[in-house]
Chains A and B, each alone.
Chain A
Amino acid sequence: MVRLITHNLLACHVKGCTSNNFPLQLQNVQIELRDADFNADFLKTFLPKLEWKALVESAKELGDTSLPIEQPEMLDDDFLKNLHHVLLEIHIEEGNMICPNCKHSYPISNGIPNMLLAEHEIG
């Protein structure tokens, strides 16, 4: 049940991997769409926390191009609906998340990403 909302907050936490470790690249993903309750207030408060470029890129990797490349100044309903769909309704069920810097791969199985590290990778 990784959604892009959490994916957008997730960086690699392997020892020594401190730069260029975000966003994790998505590979071989299978996605599932599930409806969620639309909450405009939440989206508005969450918007400043998002790394917009990364979000648009990840959405593209998942085959969704409904978001504008630049974060719009005005928040209209259509935009919020699209954002809601991308953030909260696309669930990644299977696949891999790869760190762009150290190439560590976090496998996702059954909707749960495995974030465990080997002993030598613990910071």
Chain B
Amino acid sequence: MSRPELQAPPEIYYGDTEAKKYTKNTRNQQIQADMTYRALELLNLTPDEPAFLLDIGCGSGLSGEILDEEGYIWAGVDIAPSMLEVALEREVEGDLFLQDIGQGFGFRPGSFDGAIRYLSHQSPILALRYQSSSVSVLQWLLNAETSHPTSSPPHRLNRFFTTLHSALRNPSRAVFQFYPSSDDQIQLITSIAQKAGFGGGVVIDYPNSNKARKVFLCLYVGGGGGQQQQIPQALDGDVKEDGKVRFERRRARDLRKDNNGKRKSQKVVDRDWILRKKELYRKRGKESVPRDSKFTGRKRKPVF
């Protein structure tokens, strides 16, 4: 299966049907929820302090709903109109914008800087990334759609990070999850982010697991002033599976087959089973089904 970002630009890939499909998929919902909680954790907001967050690539508002629940006020941007329409239908509370983040933000520069004294530490603005099972906003940024110089990936990334940097309060954080296809991509993204003035780096959760491995880009605005911002600890150790060994069910199913791959005929189980089978045959109209009696399914005495 090839990655969605290689197939078409996001506003086309997430058309009406794909947008609905994406939102209804419970697996995507789960992934989005996990990601949002983890991103909020990485943002390290001061608890119980109201914050104004930015959800970049808010899509159909799956992550936005969680932000609503957690009591954050937020604004979301996305480039796919169909996704935004779904978000409208779902009545999320944030303000939505149709915007190409590669073109930069129009948010007032400096409006989020550290003017607030009693919010002296981290960040009332979050930059969430956006993900489907394999896509994130940064990935889409890496796609050149036309030959115009403003659509080259480095230029778009640069524009994105510089405008984001100015829109964020000082000090604050931005967290992205993304699925890099190579180390070069990580290199490119982090170097451009650093040029734009961000500090921080990459956090990799579960680096040894193929399934649960998640790459987060944790970016800081500011960070001096006595409170050195540290890159958060990545999650490690064993991934919690759902209590089952993989392929357990398939193995149990295969055990019931004989060498030719056909289902083995089951041995007689008990009286209930026999009665059920006989009932079934009678229902199907099979003749000469023996009648039920007190001897049906009775165990023979070990006389012989």
> In the assembly, what is the distance between CA of A112 and CA of B83, in Å?
12
Are A117 and B115 in contact, with the CB atoms below 8 A? no
Q: Is the CB of A42 within 8 A of B50?
A: yes
Chain A nearest Cβ from B273, distance in angstroms: 59
Q: Using a Cβ cutoff of 8 Å, how many contacts connect chains A and B? A: 99
In the complex with contacts A41-B49, A49-B112, A12-B106 CB distance below 8 A = yes
Per-residue contact bits, chain A 45-57, to B (CB 8 Å; 1 contact, 0 not):
1101101000000
Please determine whether B88 and A36 come into contact, CB atoms closer than 8 angstroms.
no
Q: Is B98 an interface residue (CB 8 A)?
A: yes
- Among A11, A49, A51, A115, which residue has its beta carbon within 8 angstroms of that of B97? A115
Residue-wise, chain A 1-43 has the 8 Å CB interface mask toward B (1 for contact) of 1110110111111000000001000000000000010010110
Is the pair A115, B99 in contact by a Cβ cutoff of 8 Å? yes
From B50, B75, B100, B116, A49 is in contact (CB under 8 Å) with B116
Q: A105 to chain B: closest CB distance in Å? A: 13
Contact B107 A45, beta carbon cutoff 8 Å: no
Q: Which of B81, B163, B167 has the most CB of A within 10 A?
A: B81
Check A117 against B103 for contact (C-beta < 8 Å): yes
Indicate if the CB atoms of B73 and A5 lie closer than 8 Å.
yes
Asked whether any CB of chain A lies closer than 8 Å to the CB of B175, the reply is no
Does A116 lie within 8 Å of B106, measured CB to CB? no
Contact residues of B between 49 and 64, Cβ < 8 Å to A: 49-50, 52
- B49 and A11 within 8 A (CB): no
In residues 103-149 of chain B, which contact A (Cβ within 8 Å)?
Answer: 103-109, 111-112, 115-116, 118-119, 124, 146, 148
Enumerate chain B residues within 8 angstroms of A88, measured Cβ to Cβ: 73
- CA gap between A118 and B106 in the complex, in Å: 14
Choose among A1, A9, A10, A41 the residue that contacts B96 (Cβ–Cβ < 8 A).
A1
Complex contacts, B49 vs chain A, CB 8 Å: 41, 45
> Which A residues lie at the B interface, using CB under 8 A?
1-3, 5-6, 8-13, 22, 36, 39, 41-42, 45-46, 48-49, 51, 88, 110-117, 119, 122-123
The 14 sampled A-B contact pairs (Cβ below 8 Å) are: A1-B95, A6-B75, A9-B167, A10-B106, A10-B108, A13-B163, A39-B73, A45-B49, A45-B50, A49-B52, A51-B108, A111-B88, A115-B100, A123-B159
